[in-house]
Chains A and B, each alone.
Chain A
Amino acid sequence: MVPTKTDRDLRLDLFRGLALWLIFLDHIPSNAVSWVTIRNYGFSDATEIFVFISGYTVAFVYGRSMYLNGFLVAAARVLKRAWQIYVAHIFLFAIYLAEISYIAHSFENPLYSEEMGVLNFLNNPDVTIIQAMLLKFKPVNMDVLPLYIILLIGFAPFLWLLMRSPTTALLASGAIYSLSWLFEWNLPAWPQGVWVFNPFAWQFLFIFGAWCALGGAARLSRAINSPVTLTLAVLYLLFAFFISLTWHVPGLGAYVPTVVGELIYPIDKTNLDVLRILHFLALAVITVRLVPRDWPALKSPWFKPAILCGAHSLGIFCLGVFLSFAGHFVFTEVSNRVPVQILVSVAGIAIMAGAAWLISWYRTIERQGSGSGSGPKTQAAKPSLAGGDT
């Protein structure tokens, strides 16, 4: 399968941008605004959207590269991308260290002597920093980028297979997912435990996204557009919505039959529970129905901020993690009243959108700057410039 060269599908950028905003809101602890995020209304959350769309765009960009330049070049580019994300992750870790070190010196309360022990790792940076660089020590909310890095490191062979036999590739991915559940595969974490996002499980959504990008979506279009699928998706979303209501209104729990509860709980995020995948798929089916690719509103200025954020997802994701640290910092140092929470949330999204605009402006002038001599060559060598990054 060869990715067809068409205009960038703005829906991908739009929904990835929205997912980045939701991840930012969810990452600020005790944030009242996070009530608007989808994790409160069903089984899946913004992480699924981010991983799926990332798989889709990565396959789109590097699939073209593999078709034009061969396996070696495309694989090298994918690895370079993984390296960029690794550098971004370490940069975020440095910011995290700065925040933690500050808190360690500014906060004391005998009520929390136990909890403050979490800062003890500052006492042995020799071990901690090395473990962080090995991606084994991952502070809270810094699990997505390491997952992305591992997914990219393993991606090139999958891409090769996807372009020859998409079905085999998808089956192989599903097999790894199943085996990871059967044999409890996961990567080790430090000081103990396992990765919060199990790469062996989450790769399935990533590869599924890639499969869709390389022709799978077209193959599925009949199924997606059938009224039966739509009905099932709506019913499943309603079911998930009702179950999620019982998390917030325990009184409703009495209406959930015991046998249903036995089947669905616990809903495992680490290993990407099947219920979460189905919830994401149901959302996707309905979204594709409601938002056609040529929807005129996609070009409207209202969606521009989200689309820009989605188009520059790595930078904006990192900024979001930083801003959620900063938001929490405002809550602890200034005020945690609800108006402040709303202000911090809105300001954070505005900053993300502004930064995305800035990044695309930089890209434009860089492209103009290099346009004199090696313009077309640079363009061909960097397919990601065609419309944002992977």
Chain B
Amino acid sequence: MKWGRPLGRGIAVSACLAAMFLGPAASVHAGEPTECGVDGGPFAVAYPLNRVKKAVADKSLTILVVGAGSSQLPGPNGAANSYPSRMQQALSNKLPGVKVSVVTDVKSRRTAADMVKSLPAELAQARPALMLWQTATVDAMQAVDPDQFSQALDKGIKKARAAGADVMFINPQYSPRTESMIALGVYVENMRWVAVQQEVPVFDRFGLMKAWSDQGTFDFYSATKKLDMAERVHDCIGRLLADLVLEAAKPDLPTDGNK
């Protein structure tokens, strides 16, 4: 019943709007190459990651990255250079004494609903404290019914939480060349709504990359077969993700430089 939908999806607006532009920019800190930095923007981290905090306290943090094609890079070093590995490296550096492992369930051309199907097995095997969920791009490309997309997100969050994991979303990439072909808008927004309702932090990859593009950090219009820009982008995303994870989890660390 659609009449009930606005109420059913009702959310705390103040929290929601704080989260609407939730992004990692606030967590850009000294010590990183300036190319990842993003100026300005009212960004906020809204929701705590308590299971991550506990895992860090227990000296063993496992993160499951569930994603589609934009979570991987081609080539022999693709796995090592893509953002899940870069994030693992960054987290290991920032959490000395904590064993950080990153497990990936990444395959291209998967919608949110496709990913939910393989979730129980992946969660049971990896037993992560955090599930990083990169999705929405393929749903937008295939014009999945936005309501069904939101339902798939809800379902995935439920499954991850039942398996003892916190959840964080990663929204689509900013891809100016394909902007006139992929209508991301409604999917990015629905992702935000679900995130606010379910109190899930969002890594605003779209906003971040748009800011990079506007500020000339990267030229996303360029056509190239080379991997170097893609690798640098993934490196930045991996490190900013690590910052956001730490910021949201607020682990009690003497060496924590993120406050």
Contacts and interface: CB of A to CB of B under 8 A. Distances in A.
B224 interface: yes
B79 interface: no
Contacts of B220: 109, 111
B169 interface: no
24 contacts: A110-B226, A112-B178, A114-B70, A114-B137, A115-B175, A116-B178, A117-B109, A118-B141, A140-B182, A181-B2, A182-B3, A194-B145, A253-B16, A253-B18, A253-B20, A254-B14, A255-B14, A258-B13, A265-B13, A266-B9, A268-B2, A270-B146, A332-B221, A336-B221
Contacts of B42: 249-251
A257 interface: yes
B176 A29 contact: yes
Interface in A295-344: 324-325, 328, 331-332, 336
B179 interface: yes
Contacts of A108: 223-225
B137 A109 contact: no
Given A114-B70, A184-B2, A192-B145, A332 B177 contact: yes
Interface string B165-187: 00000000101111111110010
Contacts of A107: 177, 223
Given A254-B14, A262-B11, A265-B11, A328 B143 contact: no
A332 B176 contact: yes
Interface stretch (B48-56, B123-131, B155-163, B227-235): B227-235
B182 A263 contact: no
Contacts of B44: 250
A262 B230 contact: no
A261 B13 contact: yes
Contacts of A374: none
B73 interface: yes
B108 interface: yes
A268 B8 CA distance: 14
Interface string B224-259: 111101100100000000000000000000000000
A114 B186 CA distance: 19
Interface residues of B, number: 61
Nearest to A260: B13
A384 interface: no
Nearest to B228: A110
Interface residues of A, number: 60
A106 B223 contact: yes
A247 interface: yes
Interface string A178-191: 00011010000101
A111 B178 CA distance: 12
Contact of B13 (A262, A269, A328): A262
Contact of A115 (B17, B182, B227): B182
A263 B68 CA distance: 34
B17 A250 contact: yes
Contacts of A250: 17-18, 20-21, 42, 44
Contacts of B193: 265-266
A113 interface: yes
Contact of B181 (A114, A118, A252, A336): A118
Given A251-B42, A263-B6, A263-B7, A191 B180 contact: no
A256 B108 CA distance: 40
A325 B146 CA distance: 25
